[in-house]
Structure 1
Amino acid sequence: MTDQIAMLWMRGSLSFLERLCVQSFLDAGHHVILYSYEPLDRVPEGVETRDASLILPETGDLVHERTGSPAPHADRFRYLLLARSEGMIWADTDAYCVKPFRTLDGHLYGWESDKHVNIGVLALPSGSPTLAALMDFTGDPHAIPPWEKPWKQREMAAARDAGEPVRAIAENWGVWGPQAFTHFLGETGEIARAMPQAALYPYSFAERRKLLMPGKDHSDAITDETLSIHLYGRRIRKRMAERDQGLPDPDSLMGQLLIKHRIDPCEAPLA
Protein backbone atom coordinates (compact mmCIF):
# COMPACT_ATOMS: atom_id res chain seq x y z
CA MET A 1 0.00 0.00 0.00
CA THR A 2 1.56 3.28 -1.10
CA ASP A 3 1.13 6.47 0.86
CA GLN A 4 -1.82 8.67 0.00
CA ILE A 5 -1.15 11.87 -1.90
CA ALA A 6 -3.19 14.99 -1.11
CA MET A 7 -3.51 17.90 -3.53
CA LEU A 8 -5.51 21.12 -3.80
CA TRP A 9 -6.97 22.74 -6.92
CA MET A 10 -9.27 25.46 -5.73
CA ARG A 11 -11.65 25.65 -8.68
CA GLY A 12 -11.95 25.46 -12.45
CA SER A 13 -10.70 22.97 -14.99
CA LEU A 14 -7.38 21.18 -14.75
CA SER A 15 -5.07 21.94 -17.65
CA PHE A 16 -2.80 19.34 -19.20
CA LEU A 17 -0.04 20.36 -16.77
CA GLU A 18 -2.08 19.51 -13.67
CA ARG A 19 -3.51 16.40 -15.31
CA LEU A 20 0.02 15.24 -16.06
CA CYS A 21 1.11 15.62 -12.46
CA VAL A 22 -1.99 13.95 -11.02
CA GLN A 23 -1.70 11.10 -13.51
CA SER A 24 1.96 10.59 -12.68
CA PHE A 25 1.05 9.76 -9.07
CA LEU A 26 -1.72 7.41 -10.16
CA ASP A 27 0.65 5.64 -12.54
CA ALA A 28 3.18 5.28 -9.70
CA GLY A 29 0.56 3.43 -7.66
CA HIS A 30 -0.47 6.20 -5.27
CA HIS A 31 -4.02 6.91 -4.16
CA VAL A 32 -4.65 10.58 -4.95
CA ILE A 33 -7.06 12.77 -2.99
CA LEU A 34 -7.81 16.05 -4.76
CA TYR A 35 -9.39 18.79 -2.65
CA SER A 36 -11.34 21.68 -4.18
CA TYR A 37 -13.91 24.34 -3.32
CA GLU A 38 -16.11 23.59 -6.33
CA PRO A 39 -16.65 20.58 -8.61
CA LEU A 40 -13.74 20.27 -11.05
CA ASP A 41 -13.53 19.41 -14.73
CA ARG A 42 -10.99 17.08 -16.37
CA VAL A 43 -10.10 15.16 -13.22
CA PRO A 44 -8.29 11.92 -14.16
CA GLU A 45 -10.16 8.69 -13.52
CA GLY A 46 -9.25 7.06 -10.22
CA VAL A 47 -8.84 10.29 -8.25
CA GLU A 48 -10.81 10.74 -5.03
CA THR A 49 -12.25 14.25 -4.73
CA ARG A 50 -13.03 15.95 -1.42
CA ASP A 51 -14.43 19.25 -0.20
CA ALA A 52 -11.56 21.57 0.73
CA SER A 53 -13.76 23.63 3.05
CA LEU A 54 -13.70 20.72 5.50
CA ILE A 55 -10.02 21.52 6.05
CA LEU A 56 -9.99 25.31 5.61
CA PRO A 57 -13.02 27.42 4.64
CA GLU A 58 -12.31 29.88 1.87
CA THR A 59 -12.49 33.52 2.97
CA GLY A 60 -10.61 35.28 0.18
CA ASP A 61 -8.31 36.98 2.67
CA LEU A 62 -5.25 34.77 2.32
CA VAL A 63 -3.84 36.01 -0.97
CA HIS A 64 -0.62 37.55 -2.24
CA GLU A 65 -1.49 41.17 -3.00
CA ARG A 66 0.65 41.81 -6.10
CA THR A 67 -0.22 38.62 -7.98
CA GLY A 68 -3.61 37.77 -6.49
CA SER A 69 -2.30 34.26 -5.93
CA PRO A 70 -4.00 32.18 -3.21
CA ALA A 71 -0.60 30.70 -2.30
CA PRO A 72 -0.84 31.73 1.39
CA HIS A 73 -4.20 29.96 1.59
CA ALA A 74 -2.67 26.83 0.06
CA ASP A 75 0.24 27.03 2.51
CA ARG A 76 -2.06 27.15 5.53
CA PHE A 77 -4.25 24.44 4.00
CA ARG A 78 -1.43 21.91 3.73
CA TYR A 79 -0.24 22.47 7.29
CA LEU A 80 -3.76 21.96 8.64
CA LEU A 81 -4.18 18.85 6.52
CA LEU A 82 -0.91 17.29 7.67
CA ALA A 83 -1.71 18.05 11.30
CA ARG A 84 -5.01 16.17 10.95
CA SER A 85 -3.97 13.33 8.63
CA GLU A 86 -1.15 11.13 9.86
CA GLY A 87 0.71 9.44 7.02
CA MET A 88 -0.53 11.80 4.29
CA ILE A 89 1.91 13.26 1.76
CA TRP A 90 1.20 16.65 0.26
CA ALA A 91 2.02 17.37 -3.39
CA ASP A 92 1.35 20.51 -5.37
CA THR A 93 -0.56 20.01 -8.61
CA ASP A 94 2.62 20.97 -10.47
CA ALA A 95 4.76 18.30 -8.79
CA TYR A 96 5.47 15.42 -11.18
CA CYS A 97 6.06 11.99 -9.66
CA VAL A 98 9.11 10.16 -11.02
CA LYS A 99 9.09 7.31 -8.48
CA PRO A 100 6.70 6.24 -5.71
CA PHE A 101 7.04 8.42 -2.62
CA ARG A 102 7.99 7.02 0.77
CA THR A 103 8.46 9.00 3.96
CA LEU A 104 11.28 8.46 6.44
CA ASP A 105 9.65 8.39 9.87
CA GLY A 106 6.94 10.65 8.49
CA HIS A 107 9.29 13.20 6.90
CA LEU A 108 9.52 14.06 3.20
CA TYR A 109 10.80 17.42 1.91
CA GLY A 110 13.82 18.75 0.09
CA TRP A 111 16.01 21.67 -0.85
CA GLU A 112 14.91 23.68 -3.89
CA SER A 113 17.99 25.91 -3.81
CA ASP A 114 20.90 26.55 -1.50
CA LYS A 115 18.67 28.94 0.47
CA HIS A 116 15.25 27.34 0.77
CA VAL A 117 13.58 24.02 1.49
CA ASN A 118 10.40 24.03 -0.58
CA ILE A 119 6.95 22.77 0.39
CA GLY A 120 5.76 21.57 -3.03
CA VAL A 121 6.19 18.01 -1.77
CA LEU A 122 5.74 17.76 1.96
CA ALA A 123 5.18 15.26 4.74
CA LEU A 124 5.64 15.85 8.45
CA PRO A 125 4.54 13.67 11.36
CA SER A 126 1.72 15.19 13.40
CA GLY A 127 4.09 15.53 16.36
CA SER A 128 6.70 17.49 14.41
CA PRO A 129 7.84 20.66 16.23
CA THR A 130 8.25 22.32 12.84
CA LEU A 131 4.62 21.60 11.99
CA ALA A 132 3.53 22.97 15.36
CA ALA A 133 5.51 26.17 14.75
CA LEU A 134 4.03 26.54 11.25
CA MET A 135 0.51 26.06 12.57
CA ASP A 136 1.06 28.76 15.17
CA PHE A 137 2.77 31.21 12.81
CA THR A 138 0.23 30.88 9.97
CA GLY A 139 -2.66 31.14 12.41
CA ASP A 140 -2.06 34.91 12.59
CA PRO A 141 -2.10 36.84 9.27
CA HIS A 142 -0.29 39.70 11.02
CA ALA A 143 2.47 37.61 12.60
CA ILE A 144 5.90 39.19 12.26
CA PRO A 145 8.37 36.86 10.51
CA PRO A 146 11.10 36.09 13.07
CA TRP A 147 13.71 35.76 10.33
CA GLU A 148 13.29 39.37 9.17
CA LYS A 149 16.10 41.81 9.93
CA PRO A 150 15.78 43.40 13.40
CA TRP A 151 15.01 46.85 11.97
CA LYS A 152 12.21 45.38 9.84
CA GLN A 153 10.74 43.54 12.82
CA ARG A 154 10.79 46.76 14.83
CA GLU A 155 9.09 48.60 11.98
CA MET A 156 6.36 45.95 11.73
CA ALA A 157 5.91 45.89 15.51
CA ALA A 158 5.48 49.68 15.55
CA ALA A 159 2.83 49.48 12.83
CA ARG A 160 1.03 46.76 14.77
CA ASP A 161 1.12 48.77 17.98
CA ALA A 162 -0.25 51.78 16.09
CA GLY A 163 -3.25 49.73 15.00
CA GLU A 164 -2.04 49.32 11.41
CA PRO A 165 -0.52 45.83 11.35
CA VAL A 166 1.33 44.73 8.23
CA ARG A 167 0.11 41.60 6.46
CA ALA A 168 3.44 40.08 5.47
CA ILE A 169 1.72 37.40 3.37
CA ALA A 170 0.16 40.08 1.17
CA GLU A 171 3.47 41.81 0.47
CA ASN A 172 6.10 39.08 0.27
CA TRP A 173 6.04 35.86 -1.71
CA GLY A 174 6.60 32.65 0.22
CA VAL A 175 6.32 34.08 3.75
CA TRP A 176 4.07 31.21 4.87
CA GLY A 177 5.75 28.81 2.46
CA PRO A 178 9.47 28.17 1.88
CA GLN A 179 10.60 31.12 4.00
CA ALA A 180 8.71 30.01 7.11
CA PHE A 181 9.36 26.33 6.49
CA THR A 182 13.12 26.75 6.11
CA HIS A 183 13.31 28.99 9.18
CA PHE A 184 11.40 26.66 11.50
CA LEU A 185 13.17 23.56 10.18
CA GLY A 186 16.45 25.22 11.11
CA GLU A 187 15.13 26.28 14.50
CA THR A 188 13.93 22.77 15.39
CA GLY A 189 16.83 20.87 13.82
CA GLU A 190 14.52 18.97 11.48
CA ILE A 191 16.28 20.59 8.55
CA ALA A 192 18.78 17.72 8.83
CA ARG A 193 16.09 15.52 7.26
CA ALA A 194 15.78 17.66 4.13
CA MET A 195 16.64 15.75 0.97
CA PRO A 196 19.18 17.11 -1.54
CA GLN A 197 17.91 19.26 -4.38
CA ALA A 198 18.15 16.45 -6.92
CA ALA A 199 15.47 14.49 -5.06
CA LEU A 200 12.45 16.77 -5.42
CA TYR A 201 13.54 19.93 -7.28
CA PRO A 202 16.18 18.88 -9.83
CA TYR A 203 15.49 22.18 -11.55
CA SER A 204 15.17 25.21 -9.31
CA PHE A 205 12.70 28.01 -9.93
CA ALA A 206 15.47 29.98 -11.65
CA GLU A 207 16.09 27.04 -14.02
CA ARG A 208 12.43 26.40 -14.88
CA ARG A 209 12.78 27.30 -18.57
CA LYS A 210 14.87 24.18 -19.08
CA LEU A 211 11.65 22.19 -18.70
CA LEU A 212 10.49 23.56 -22.06
CA MET A 213 13.77 23.43 -24.01
CA PRO A 214 13.53 20.98 -26.93
CA GLY A 215 16.32 18.44 -27.24
CA LYS A 216 17.93 19.24 -23.89
CA ASP A 217 19.86 16.51 -22.05
CA HIS A 218 18.52 16.30 -18.48
CA SER A 219 20.79 13.54 -17.18
CA ASP A 220 22.92 15.90 -15.09
CA ALA A 221 19.88 17.18 -13.17
CA ILE A 222 17.50 14.21 -13.09
CA THR A 223 19.35 11.34 -11.46
CA ASP A 224 18.65 7.99 -9.80
CA GLU A 225 17.81 9.81 -6.56
CA THR A 226 15.16 11.99 -8.22
CA LEU A 227 11.65 11.29 -6.91
CA SER A 228 9.86 14.33 -8.31
CA ILE A 229 10.23 17.17 -10.78
CA HIS A 230 8.63 20.48 -9.88
CA LEU A 231 7.07 22.11 -12.95
CA TYR A 232 6.44 25.61 -11.51
CA GLY A 233 2.92 25.69 -12.89
CA ARG A 234 1.92 29.36 -12.71
CA ARG A 235 5.06 30.61 -14.44
CA ILE A 236 5.36 27.72 -16.90
CA ARG A 237 1.70 28.02 -17.94
CA LYS A 238 2.21 31.74 -18.52
CA ARG A 239 5.33 31.16 -20.61
CA MET A 240 3.68 28.49 -22.76
CA ALA A 241 0.61 30.67 -23.28
CA GLU A 242 2.68 33.70 -24.32
CA ARG A 243 5.47 32.11 -26.35
CA ASP A 244 4.56 28.56 -27.30
CA GLN A 245 0.92 28.93 -28.39
CA GLY A 246 -0.10 27.16 -25.21
CA LEU A 247 1.61 23.88 -26.11
CA PRO A 248 5.02 22.45 -25.15
CA ASP A 249 7.42 21.23 -27.81
CA PRO A 250 7.04 17.43 -28.08
CA ASP A 251 10.83 17.14 -27.78
CA SER A 252 10.98 19.12 -24.52
CA LEU A 253 10.89 17.43 -21.12
CA MET A 254 7.31 18.60 -20.63
CA GLY A 255 6.34 17.27 -24.03
CA GLN A 256 8.01 13.92 -23.43
CA LEU A 257 6.25 13.48 -20.09
CA LEU A 258 2.88 14.17 -21.69
CA ILE A 259 3.59 11.51 -24.30
CA LYS A 260 4.71 9.04 -21.63
CA HIS A 261 1.45 9.38 -19.71
CA ARG A 262 -0.72 9.56 -22.86
CA ILE A 263 -2.08 13.01 -22.18
CA ASP A 264 -3.18 15.08 -25.16
CA PRO A 265 -2.60 18.74 -24.27
CA CYS A 266 -5.24 19.80 -26.80
CA GLU A 267 -7.91 18.02 -24.74
CA ALA A 268 -7.06 20.02 -21.60
CA PRO A 269 -5.78 23.42 -22.78
CA LEU A 270 -4.31 26.05 -20.51
CA ALA A 271 -6.94 28.20 -18.81
Structure 2
Amino acid sequence: MVKEYRVGALWIGGSLSYLEQLCLKSFVDAGQHIVLYTYQGVTNAPEGVELADANTILPQTGFLRHTRTGSPALHSDLFRYHMLAQHDDLIWADTDAYCVRPFATTTGHFYAWESKHGLNGGVLGLPRDSATLAALLELTSDEFAIPEWFDDAEKARMQALKDAGTPVHAAEMPWGVWGPAALTHYLKKTGEVKFALPQVALYPFHYKDRRLMLRPGIEMSEYVTDETYSIHFYGRRMRARILQVEANGIPRPRSVIGKLLRKHGIDPTLAPLKRPALPDPEMADDDGAA
Protein backbone atom coordinates (compact mmCIF):
# COMPACT_ATOMS: atom_id res chain seq x y z
CA MET A 1 0.00 0.00 0.00
CA VAL A 2 1.31 3.42 -0.94
CA LYS A 3 1.39 5.74 2.07
CA GLU A 4 0.73 9.45 1.71
CA TYR A 5 3.84 11.45 2.52
CA ARG A 6 4.56 15.08 3.25
CA VAL A 7 7.81 16.67 2.15
CA GLY A 8 10.12 18.51 4.56
CA ALA A 9 12.79 21.07 3.67
CA LEU A 10 15.05 23.45 5.58
CA TRP A 11 15.87 27.13 5.08
CA ILE A 12 18.12 28.69 7.70
CA GLY A 13 16.34 32.04 7.40
CA GLY A 14 15.94 35.19 5.38
CA SER A 15 14.27 35.70 2.02
CA LEU A 16 14.14 33.02 -0.65
CA SER A 17 15.42 33.54 -4.14
CA TYR A 18 13.26 32.70 -7.13
CA LEU A 19 15.07 29.37 -7.48
CA GLU A 20 13.92 28.16 -4.04
CA GLN A 21 10.48 29.66 -4.62
CA LEU A 22 10.19 27.68 -7.85
CA CYS A 23 11.11 24.40 -6.19
CA LEU A 24 8.78 24.89 -3.23
CA LYS A 25 5.93 25.99 -5.47
CA SER A 26 6.40 22.90 -7.63
CA PHE A 27 5.38 20.67 -4.71
CA VAL A 28 2.32 22.80 -3.98
CA ASP A 29 1.28 22.71 -7.62
CA ALA A 30 1.82 18.94 -7.76
CA GLY A 31 -0.59 18.54 -4.85
CA GLN A 32 1.99 17.46 -2.28
CA HIS A 33 2.02 18.94 1.22
CA ILE A 34 5.37 20.61 1.85
CA VAL A 35 6.73 21.89 5.17
CA LEU A 36 9.54 24.45 5.16
CA TYR A 37 11.42 24.44 8.44
CA THR A 38 13.26 27.63 9.29
CA TYR A 39 15.27 28.99 12.20
CA GLN A 40 15.03 32.69 11.46
CA GLY A 41 11.77 32.95 9.58
CA VAL A 42 11.09 33.62 5.92
CA THR A 43 8.92 36.35 4.42
CA ASN A 44 8.42 35.27 0.81
CA ALA A 45 7.53 31.59 0.76
CA PRO A 46 5.00 30.69 -1.95
CA GLU A 47 1.37 30.40 -0.93
CA GLY A 48 0.53 26.87 0.18
CA VAL A 49 3.90 26.15 1.80
CA GLU A 50 3.59 25.33 5.51
CA LEU A 51 6.17 27.08 7.68
CA ALA A 52 7.47 25.40 10.82
CA ASP A 53 10.06 26.03 13.54
CA ALA A 54 13.26 24.13 12.79
CA ASN A 55 14.08 24.08 16.50
CA THR A 56 11.41 21.42 16.96
CA ILE A 57 13.61 19.06 14.94
CA LEU A 58 17.12 20.22 15.85
CA PRO A 59 17.63 23.05 18.35
CA GLN A 60 19.76 25.93 17.12
CA THR A 61 23.03 25.70 19.03
CA GLY A 62 25.28 26.93 16.26
CA PHE A 63 25.44 25.90 12.63
CA LEU A 64 27.98 23.41 11.37
CA ARG A 65 29.52 24.88 8.23
CA HIS A 66 32.07 23.43 5.86
CA THR A 67 35.34 25.24 6.51
CA ARG A 68 36.45 25.64 2.90
CA THR A 69 33.13 26.79 1.43
CA GLY A 70 31.21 28.15 4.41
CA SER A 71 28.24 26.05 3.35
CA PRO A 72 25.80 24.90 6.09
CA ALA A 73 25.59 21.49 4.38
CA LEU A 74 26.75 19.63 7.51
CA HIS A 75 23.93 21.14 9.55
CA SER A 76 21.50 20.33 6.75
CA ASP A 77 22.68 16.71 6.72
CA LEU A 78 22.24 16.45 10.47
CA PHE A 79 18.82 18.09 10.31
CA ARG A 80 17.43 15.74 7.68
CA TYR A 81 18.47 12.62 9.59
CA HIS A 82 16.82 13.90 12.77
CA MET A 83 13.71 14.90 10.82
CA LEU A 84 13.39 11.41 9.35
CA ALA A 85 13.91 9.83 12.78
CA GLN A 86 11.13 11.96 14.29
CA HIS A 87 8.52 11.88 11.51
CA ASP A 88 7.59 8.73 9.64
CA ASP A 89 5.39 10.61 7.19
CA LEU A 90 8.03 13.03 5.90
CA ILE A 91 10.43 12.71 2.99
CA TRP A 92 13.30 15.17 2.89
CA ALA A 93 13.87 17.44 -0.13
CA ASP A 94 16.57 20.06 -0.63
CA THR A 95 15.25 23.49 -1.57
CA ASP A 96 16.80 22.98 -5.01
CA ALA A 97 14.72 19.87 -5.77
CA TYR A 98 11.97 20.56 -8.30
CA CYS A 99 8.92 18.29 -8.03
CA VAL A 100 7.77 16.66 -11.25
CA ARG A 101 5.15 14.45 -9.57
CA PRO A 102 4.21 13.57 -5.98
CA PHE A 103 6.68 11.40 -4.09
CA ALA A 104 5.45 7.90 -3.29
CA THR A 105 6.97 4.80 -1.71
CA THR A 106 5.59 1.54 -0.32
CA THR A 107 8.68 0.87 1.82
CA GLY A 108 9.57 4.24 3.32
CA HIS A 109 12.82 4.17 1.34
CA PHE A 110 13.07 6.96 -1.22
CA TYR A 111 16.44 7.86 -2.74
CA ALA A 112 18.26 7.38 -6.00
CA TRP A 113 21.57 6.75 -7.64
CA GLU A 114 23.26 9.93 -8.78
CA SER A 115 25.99 8.09 -10.67
CA LYS A 116 27.07 4.52 -11.31
CA HIS A 117 28.78 4.37 -7.93
CA GLY A 118 27.14 6.91 -5.61
CA LEU A 119 23.78 7.98 -4.23
CA ASN A 120 22.65 11.43 -3.19
CA GLY A 121 20.45 12.53 -0.29
CA GLY A 122 19.06 15.64 -1.97
CA VAL A 123 15.75 13.81 -1.78
CA LEU A 124 15.71 11.24 1.00
CA GLY A 125 13.22 8.96 2.64
CA LEU A 126 14.27 6.39 5.26
CA PRO A 127 11.90 4.55 7.59
CA ARG A 128 12.48 4.92 11.31
CA ASP A 129 13.73 1.34 11.63
CA SER A 130 16.25 1.76 8.81
CA ALA A 131 19.72 0.44 9.69
CA THR A 132 21.17 3.12 7.43
CA LEU A 133 19.37 5.88 9.33
CA ALA A 134 20.65 4.48 12.65
CA ALA A 135 24.22 4.44 11.32
CA LEU A 136 23.92 8.01 9.99
CA LEU A 137 22.63 9.25 13.34
CA GLU A 138 25.47 7.52 15.16
CA LEU A 139 28.11 8.93 12.80
CA THR A 140 26.82 12.49 13.03
CA SER A 141 26.52 12.37 16.83
CA ASP A 142 30.30 12.80 16.99
CA GLU A 143 31.69 15.77 15.05
CA PHE A 144 35.16 14.19 15.23
CA ALA A 145 34.20 10.65 14.20
CA ILE A 146 36.62 9.02 11.76
CA PRO A 147 34.58 7.70 8.80
CA GLU A 148 35.03 3.96 8.48
CA TRP A 149 35.10 4.12 4.67
CA PHE A 150 38.31 6.19 4.59
CA ASP A 151 41.36 4.19 3.53
CA ASP A 152 43.66 2.73 6.17
CA ALA A 153 46.37 5.35 5.76
CA GLU A 154 43.94 8.24 6.21
CA LYS A 155 42.26 6.60 9.18
CA ALA A 156 45.66 6.06 10.79
CA ARG A 157 46.61 9.70 10.19
CA MET A 158 43.37 10.95 11.70
CA GLN A 159 43.65 8.58 14.67
CA ALA A 160 47.17 9.86 15.39
CA LEU A 161 45.86 13.44 15.39
CA LYS A 162 43.02 12.40 17.67
CA ASP A 163 45.42 10.69 20.06
CA ALA A 164 47.53 13.85 20.10
CA GLY A 165 44.53 15.91 21.17
CA THR A 166 43.99 17.59 17.80
CA PRO A 167 41.17 15.59 16.18
CA VAL A 168 39.93 16.46 12.70
CA HIS A 169 36.48 18.05 12.74
CA ALA A 170 33.87 17.03 10.16
CA ALA A 171 34.01 20.57 8.76
CA GLU A 172 37.64 19.96 7.78
CA MET A 173 36.92 16.65 6.07
CA PRO A 174 36.11 16.26 2.36
CA TRP A 175 32.88 17.74 1.05
CA GLY A 176 29.86 15.46 1.52
CA VAL A 177 31.36 13.42 4.36
CA TRP A 178 28.07 13.41 6.30
CA GLY A 179 26.00 13.54 3.12
CA PRO A 180 26.37 11.53 -0.11
CA ALA A 181 29.56 9.78 1.02
CA ALA A 182 28.06 8.51 4.27
CA LEU A 183 24.70 7.70 2.73
CA THR A 184 26.27 5.70 -0.09
CA HIS A 185 28.53 3.79 2.31
CA TYR A 186 25.82 2.80 4.76
CA LEU A 187 23.19 1.97 2.16
CA LYS A 188 25.64 -0.45 0.58
CA LYS A 189 26.81 -1.82 3.95
CA THR A 190 23.28 -2.50 5.21
CA GLY A 191 22.00 -3.81 1.90
CA GLU A 192 19.28 -1.15 1.82
CA VAL A 193 20.76 0.07 -1.44
CA LYS A 194 18.44 -2.51 -3.02
CA PHE A 195 15.62 0.03 -2.58
CA ALA A 196 17.43 2.74 -4.55
CA LEU A 197 15.63 4.26 -7.51
CA PRO A 198 17.41 4.75 -10.84
CA GLN A 199 19.20 8.02 -11.51
CA VAL A 200 16.43 9.29 -13.79
CA ALA A 201 14.00 9.24 -10.84
CA LEU A 202 15.61 12.12 -8.93
CA TYR A 203 18.67 13.28 -10.89
CA PRO A 204 17.66 13.18 -14.58
CA PHE A 205 20.15 15.97 -15.34
CA HIS A 206 23.50 14.66 -14.15
CA TYR A 207 25.75 16.99 -12.17
CA LYS A 208 28.09 17.40 -15.14
CA ASP A 209 25.12 18.29 -17.38
CA ARG A 210 23.54 20.81 -15.03
CA ARG A 211 24.31 23.85 -17.20
CA LEU A 212 22.06 22.37 -19.89
CA MET A 213 19.12 23.50 -17.78
CA LEU A 214 20.14 27.07 -18.61
CA ARG A 215 20.64 26.51 -22.33
CA PRO A 216 17.81 27.74 -24.60
CA GLY A 217 16.25 25.03 -26.72
CA ILE A 218 16.93 22.09 -24.40
CA GLU A 219 13.68 20.24 -23.80
CA MET A 220 12.98 18.75 -20.38
CA SER A 221 11.40 15.74 -22.10
CA GLU A 222 14.84 14.78 -23.41
CA TYR A 223 15.85 13.92 -19.84
CA VAL A 224 12.67 13.51 -17.79
CA THR A 225 10.70 10.26 -18.18
CA ASP A 226 7.67 8.59 -16.61
CA GLU A 227 10.04 7.35 -13.88
CA THR A 228 11.06 10.86 -12.83
CA TYR A 229 9.84 12.31 -9.53
CA SER A 230 12.03 15.39 -9.29
CA ILE A 231 14.87 17.35 -10.86
CA HIS A 232 17.87 18.43 -8.85
CA PHE A 233 19.10 21.93 -9.70
CA TYR A 234 22.44 21.67 -7.82
CA GLY A 235 21.54 24.99 -6.26
CA ARG A 236 24.88 26.35 -5.03
CA ARG A 237 26.54 25.78 -8.38
CA MET A 238 23.43 26.71 -10.35
CA ARG A 239 23.09 30.05 -8.57
CA ALA A 240 26.75 30.81 -9.17
CA ARG A 241 26.44 29.91 -12.85
CA ILE A 242 23.36 32.07 -13.35
CA LEU A 243 25.00 35.07 -11.70
CA GLN A 244 28.12 34.51 -13.76
CA VAL A 245 26.66 34.20 -17.24
CA GLU A 246 22.98 35.21 -17.35
CA ALA A 247 21.93 38.82 -17.90
CA ASN A 248 20.53 40.36 -14.71
CA GLY A 249 20.89 36.99 -12.99
CA ILE A 250 17.79 35.60 -14.70
CA PRO A 251 17.64 32.39 -16.81
CA ARG A 252 16.71 32.86 -20.41
CA PRO A 253 12.98 32.30 -21.15
CA ARG A 254 13.57 29.33 -23.48
CA SER A 255 15.79 27.45 -21.03
CA VAL A 256 14.42 24.63 -18.88
CA ILE A 257 14.47 26.76 -15.73
CA GLY A 258 13.12 29.78 -17.61
CA LYS A 259 10.13 27.75 -18.82
CA LEU A 260 9.49 26.34 -15.35
CA LEU A 261 9.50 29.81 -13.80
CA ARG A 262 6.82 30.85 -16.28
CA LYS A 263 4.84 27.62 -15.73
CA HIS A 264 4.59 28.17 -11.98
CA GLY A 265 4.10 31.94 -12.12
CA ILE A 266 7.37 32.86 -10.39
CA ASP A 267 8.65 36.35 -11.20
CA PRO A 268 12.46 36.23 -10.82
CA THR A 269 12.72 40.01 -10.57
CA LEU A 270 10.82 39.96 -7.25
CA ALA A 271 13.20 37.52 -5.56
CA PRO A 272 16.64 37.92 -7.18
CA LEU A 273 19.60 35.69 -6.51
CA LYS A 274 22.01 37.01 -3.91
CA ARG A 275 25.71 37.16 -4.60
CA PRO A 276 27.72 35.35 -1.92
CA ALA A 277 29.63 37.55 0.52
CA LEU A 278 32.79 35.58 -0.27
CA PRO A 279 33.77 33.86 -3.52
CA ASP A 280 33.16 30.12 -3.55
CA PRO A 281 36.64 28.52 -3.64
CA GLU A 282 35.30 25.54 -5.53
CA MET A 283 34.23 27.75 -8.42
CA ALA A 284 37.89 28.39 -9.20
CA ASP A 285 38.18 24.71 -10.07
CA ASP A 286 34.96 24.57 -12.03
CA ASP A 287 35.07 23.42 -15.62
CA GLY A 288 32.37 25.92 -16.47
CA ALA A 289 29.67 23.25 -16.46
CA ALA A 290 27.58 24.84 -13.74
TM-score range with shorter-chain normalisation?
over 0.9
- Does the 8 A contact of 1:72 with 1:176 survive in 2? yes
Kept in 2: contact 1:111–1:118 (CA 8 A):
yes
Q: How far 1:62 sits from its partner (Å)? A: 1.2
Partner of 2:257: 254
Match among 164, 181, 184 for residue 182 of structure 1: 184
Compute the displacement of 1:179 (Å): 0.2
Tell me, what secondary structure is at the counterpart of 1:195?
Answer: coil
Q: Which residue identity is paired with 2:19?
A: L
Q: Which residue of 2 aligns with 1:17?
A: 19
Deviation at 1:47, TM superposition (A): 1.4
SS of the counterpart of 2:209? helix
2:131 paired with 1:129? yes
Separation in structure 2 between the aligned mates of residue 31 and residue 170 of structure 1, nearest angstrom:
36
| Higher alpha-carbon deviation: 34-43 or 54-63 | 54-63
Q: How many residues align?
A: 271
Corresponding residue number in structure 2 for 1:102: 104
CA distance in 1, matches of 2:83, 2:188: 22
Residues 98-137 of structure 1, C-alpha deviations (whole Å, 9 max, x = no match): 0111023111000111221100111110000000000000
> Alpha-carbon deviation of 1:168?
3.2
* 1:166 and 2:171 matched: no
CA, structure 1 residues 39+66, in 2 after alignment: closer, same or farther (shift >3 Å)? same
Aligned to 1:31: 33
SS at match of 1:120: strand
Tell me by how many angstroms 1:170 deviates: 2.8
SS in 1 for 2:145: coil
Residue pairs, 1:118-157, within 5 angstroms: 118-157=120-159
Mapped partners of 2:93, 2:227: distance in 1: 18
1:97–1:227 contact (8 Å) kept in structure 2: yes
SS of aligned partner of 1:147: coil
TM-score calculated relative to the size of structure 1: 0.97
Q: Does 2:65 align with 1:54?
A: no
1:243 aligns with 2:284: no
Report the residue type matching 1:255 in the other structure: G
TM superposition shift of 1:97: 0.3
Deviation at 1:220, TM superposition (A): 3.6
Q: Is the Cα contact below 8 Å between 2:78 and 2:140 reproduced in 1?
A: yes
Shift of 1:211: 1.1
Q: Which moved more, 1:44-53 or 1:56-65?
A: 56-65
Residue pair 1:200, 1:226 contacting (<8 A) in 2 also:
yes
CA distance in 1: counterparts of 2:117 and 2:71, whole angstroms? 23
Deviation at 1:61, TM superposition (A): 4.8
Give distance in 1, aligned partners of 2:210 and 2:62: 29
Instruction: Provide the TM-score with structure 2 as the length reference.
Output: 0.91
Further displaced range: 242-251 or 70-79: 242-251
Deviation at 1:155, TM superposition (A): 0.5
Q: What residue ranges of structure 1 are gaps of 5+ in the alignment?
A: none
Matches of 1:217 and 1:91 in 2, distance apart? 24
The residue identity in structure 1 corresponding to 2:206 is S
- Measured in 1, the distance between the counterparts of 2:61 and 2:151 equals 31
RMSD of equivalent CA atoms: 1.2
Residue 234 of structure 2 is aligned to residue 232 of structure 1? yes
Q: CA deviation at 1:2?
A: 4.0
Structure 2 gaps of 5+ residues are: 275-290
